[in-house]
Structure 1
Amino acid sequence: MAHLSLRTRLLVGVVLSVHLTGTVVLAEVQESRSYRLDEMIEVALQHNPALQEAASLVKQGRGLQTTAAAYPNPSITGTVGPGRTREALGDVAFFERGVIVSQPLEWPGMRQARLRAAEAALAGSQAAVDGTRLNVLADVKIAFYQLLLAQRNVELITEAVAIVQDFYRSVKARVDAGQARPFEALKANVEVQKVSNDLNHAQHSLVVARSRLNRLTGGALGKNFGVLGDFVSPRLGLNLEDLVGSAMEHHPTVRRVRKEIERAGHSLVQERQSLIPFVTVSGLFHQEAAETAYLARLSVPIPLWYRRQGEITAALSAKERAEAEHVRTQNELVAAITESAEEAHAAQDRIEVFEKGLLKQAEETLRIARISFQQGAASLLELIDAQRVHRQMLLEYTQARANLSVELARLERWTGELR
């Protein structure tokens, strides 16, 4: 029995160990998952807190609209208490009682202005949600391409490290065989250290880019994930006038500010209409010892001393501020679109230069330098320079493609159109 119990415990321990190990491995696999751009956008739409915060503004706007549509509540006042007639009428005890029902009546012009102001505010909140969504998706795209660039840089520099390490071993073997000077091995080792340092810097940049994208997705991606895909292909036909026209018509920020101007205008009308006072209609029942009365009452406050000058001034100021914000928003969008469009054109030009011959020339130069070095016609320094130039061309080409993708994402943000 003791041996059976021991074997049982060992078996259970092995099973638990396998289960826990499998869980850890599964967690690592999940954390190291790679996402495509559409998958990353879906995760951001589900978990980004800014979208949830913006959605609450719409709920708040609906609540304010409900408040604006509400009618004033009536009021009921009841009186009851003991009384006694005067001696001339005889000493009679009784209970007095009475009821007053009052209903304030709003001025229709003021009510209509308040309702329209609430509708404009709700539409502005919905435009703000669209603007937040646009910004989040543009930020996700930009962070995605920046992480993709960081990954490509790490891959390119990792390949360069392997090449220079192999080259260093070859040079060291030649030095050990007496076919080269020791100084050549020293120069090759310096190049290894330099490229290794570049790789270390690229890996740090990769961590930062991954953290930035993880923040935009509400921390739902974990710490060790990657991205899959490619940069945007060069696009022609980025017409500045069309882009600006699209922004002035469709951009959520422009729509939100226009609705704010509309809301402020209705609020100004509401304050001016408030000069006409509410009318309160009342019905009264009163019963005493000798009489019963059914009366109607009309109450109208007189705006004699204060005519809402402060509220009207504040509403007018809010409208002027919204109009100024509209002009400022338009100017900022035009400037941002112009800058991003020019940056996109510049990136397209750089990509075209690389693809039309610069990359092939750098690759051919490196090939010739390798052959010349093997034949003794080129020095070690010339070969190292050729390798460095080739690697730099690849990095700059990748950077240009990433810049184009980022600027196109920014153009989507500024024009208000997601492509």
Structure 2
Amino acid sequence: MHISRLCRILSTLILVSPLPPALALEPSTIPAITPPPALPPAMAPAPAPPVMPAPRSPALPPATAPGPTVPGPATGRVPGLLAPAAPGPTMPTPTTPPSQVLTIEELQRLGLRANGLVQAANFQIKAAEAGVVGASAYPNPQLTFMAGPQHARVVPQALPANSHRQFTISQTIENPFLRSARIDSAEAGVDASHAGLEQVRADLAAQLRVAAYELILRQEVARVEASVSDLMEEIRRRVRMRVDVGEAPRFELIRAETEVLAAASRKEAAQLNAQRARIALIQLTAGALQPDFQVTGSLTESVNLPPLEELRETVPAVNPEVTRLEAEWKRARRRIDQERAAVLPSLTVLLSNFQEAQYTSNLAGVNVTIPLFYRRRGEINAAVADSERARGILEFRRFEIGQLLESAWQAKQIAQRRVDMFEGGLVKEAENALEIAQAAYRFGERGLIEVLDTQRVLRGVLSDLLQARFDLQAAVTEIDRLRAYYPKEDLE
């Protein structure tokens, strides 16, 4: 709405300016500032261009400005031209593929499926699940076979040579406490991997959403700057004509040329910023977007968030980083149990069969390691220290995430107040100031410089309004990231 009013004001700025008699008959070709699609202009439909009669000859007089082109009849012969040739065979024209149009939620789903970090987190879950399989496996039995010749050393003639062989089977019976602690530690690793995947998704979804809003912001700024640049070009042309006929000082032309250069610089910078935002989105989606993709969205979208008290209770419980750190702490505590259970020995059952020419013997035994000199004190202390480290990180991050929530909420409140302030008073005051400067310029009380300065102030206020709307959406996105709120359908 405000940008539309700026368009109307700037478009009528030159129409009401005093012109010399030599320029009174010149057709008005003042470009209008194109407003962003999020803020449709409420302007009356422009009158249709006048239909001029066709010239008698295709050549125009040197001193006559070119008028609007008059289309010829749909069928038949145009006067003054040769008859059209017979139509030949129609060749098929290649159709260009339509541009990719996505909403912000569709963009988030596409990025969450295509980004390599999400795929890496999925493979990390598979690796953790494989670790559970390995921790739950029973030790394999061991088979030992030995055979060889036997010769008598004292009386070889009395004891002929023969051969003997031996089979030995050993099976380790694990300590049940050690096995249970190892399995629990591996399962905690799976929980940590799942929480890590959720954290990667939440962070990536927030980055995609902020990048999409930034692209919308940069595109709107680029449209406004392009329209302002075209308007400055037209102003310079008219000021140059007034200077040539002696109705304006040359200083106004110098100032107009300076404004044109500044507007062209802002236009180029805005276009480059829009292109950079587009490249950032393509990078986040791992190249899954087409180069000419379009994002349907607006900076004026409604903001729906739970109350702050509810967020303070739910965010620490559902935040994926807190969940991951809790799983890491649980795994560290299970490692302590595992190291303490490793002090108790595991049993190895042995069965042996020995055969020779005269005798066969069967033996059974047990192999036990007695923790007499070393009771794994170093491993236990290391596990305890690692558990305390994980607990400290968890407590710190839980407090820090709470402060991040408070900061994001305050940023949302500040951005909302700025938006209300701009929409409620500042933009209106800047528009009124431009109208007053325009009226003063019409009656010759002010020069063109004052009008351009007032127009620049209004453009700056509108830019600040767009930035405030973007800051509001970015703050809401940060809160959604902390509570892991993003489109989760069709992601499994």
- Give TM-score scaled by structure 2 length: 0.76
Runs of 5+ consecutive residues of structure 1 not aligned to the other structure:
1-13
Distance 1:365 1:349 in 2: 23
The one-letter amino acid paired with 1:366 is: L
Distance 1:240 1:35, change over 3 A: same
Q: CA deviation at 1:164?
A: 2.3
- Once the two structures are superposed, the pairs formed by residues 269-280 of structure 1 within 5 Å of their partners are 269-280=337-348
- Once the two structures are superposed, the pairs formed by residues 198-347 of structure 1 within 5 Å of their partners are 198-233=266-301, 235=303, 239-347=307-415
The one-letter amino acid paired with 2:205 is: L
The one-letter amino acid paired with 1:329 is: R
Q: Paired residue for 2:131, among 57, 64, 70?
A: 64
The answer as to 2:145 corresponding to 1:78 is yes
The one-letter amino acid paired with 1:37 is: I
What's the counterpart of residue 146 of structure 1? 214
Is the contact between residue 232 and residue 404 of structure 1 (CA under 8 Å) also seen in structure 2? no
Is the contact between residue 363 and residue 390 of structure 1 (CA under 8 Å) also seen in structure 2? yes
What's the counterpart of residue 356 of structure 1? 424
The one-letter amino acid paired with 2:267 is: L
Q: Paired residue for 1:381, among 422, 441, 449?
A: 449
Distance 1:79 1:180 in 2: 114
Distance 2:157 2:373 in 1: 46
Distance 1:161 1:40 in 2: 32
Q: CA deviation at 1:168?
A: 2.5
Distance 1:232 1:381 in 2: 34
Over residues 129-148 of structure 1, what are the superposed CA-to-partner deviations in whole Å (9 max), with x where a residue is unaligned? Answer: 01000010001011111111
Is the contact between residue 250 and residue 417 of structure 1 (CA under 8 Å) also seen in structure 2? no
Give 3-state SS (helix, strand or coil) of 1:267's partner. Answer: helix
Is the contact between residue 287 and residue 293 of structure 1 (CA under 8 Å) also seen in structure 2? yes
The one-letter amino acid paired with 1:413 is: R
Is the contact between residue 345 and residue 370 of structure 2 (CA under 8 Å) also seen in structure 1? yes
Q: Paired residue for 2:116, among 46, 49, 59?
A: 49
Over residues 347-388 of structure 1, what are the superposed CA-to-partner deviations in whole Å (9 max), with x where a residue is unaligned? Answer: 000000111122222223223322331232322122111211
What's the counterpart of residue 6 of structure 1? none
Distance 1:236 1:108, change over 3 A: closer
- Once the two structures are superposed, the pairs formed by residues 102-141 of structure 1 within 5 Å of their partners are 102-141=170-209
The one-letter amino acid paired with 1:108 is: P
- Larger helix percent: 1
Give 3-state SS (helix, strand or coil) of 2:287's partner. Answer: coil
The one-letter amino acid paired with 1:307 is: R
- Once the two structures are superposed, the pairs formed by residues 190-205 of structure 1 within 5 Å of their partners are 190-205=258-273
Distance 2:325 2:300 in 1: 32
Max Rg structure: 2
The one-letter amino acid paired with 2:136 is: A
Runs of 5+ consecutive residues of structure 2 not aligned to the other structure:
1-89, 488-492
Distance 2:403 2:157 in 1: 91
The answer as to 2:168 corresponding to 1:100 is yes
Is the contact between residue 303 and residue 476 of structure 2 (CA under 8 Å) also seen in structure 1? no
Is the contact between residue 265 and residue 319 of structure 1 (CA under 8 Å) also seen in structure 2? yes
The one-letter amino acid paired with 1:69 is: S
Q: CA deviation at 1:83?
A: 2.2
Distance 1:45 1:263 in 2: 28
Distance 1:232 1:114 in 2: 53
What's the counterpart of residue 187 of structure 1? 255
Distance 2:335 2:420 in 1: 55
The one-letter amino acid paired with 1:330 is: R
Give 3-state SS (helix, strand or coil) of 1:79's partner. Answer: strand
Is the contact between residue 344 and residue 407 of structure 1 (CA under 8 Å) also seen in structure 2? yes
Is the contact between residue 44 and residue 218 of structure 1 (CA under 8 Å) also seen in structure 2? yes
- Of stretches 270-279 and 183-192 in structure 1, the one that deviates more from structure 2 is 183-192
- Quote the sequence identity (%): 32
Distance 2:156 2:122 in 1: 74
Is the contact between residue 34 and residue 228 of structure 1 (CA under 8 Å) also seen in structure 2? yes
- Give TM-score scaled by structure 1 length: 0.88
The CA RMSD over aligned residues, in Å, is: 2.4
Distance 1:384 1:412 in 2: 42
Is the contact between residue 238 and residue 341 of structure 1 (CA under 8 Å) also seen in structure 2? no
Q: CA deviation at 1:328?
A: 1.8
Give 3-state SS (helix, strand or coil) of 1:104's partner. Answer: strand
Over residues 375-407 of structure 1, what are the superposed CA-to-partner deviations in whole Å (9 max), with x where a residue is unaligned? Answer: 323221221112111111111111100111111
What's the counterpart of residue 11 of structure 1? none
Is the contact between residue 121 and residue 200 of structure 2 (CA under 8 Å) also seen in structure 1? yes
Give the count of matched residue pairs: 398
Distance 2:258 2:366 in 1: 98
The one-letter amino acid paired with 2:117 is: A
Q: CA deviation at 1:234?
A: 5.4
Q: CA deviation at 1:169?
A: 2.7
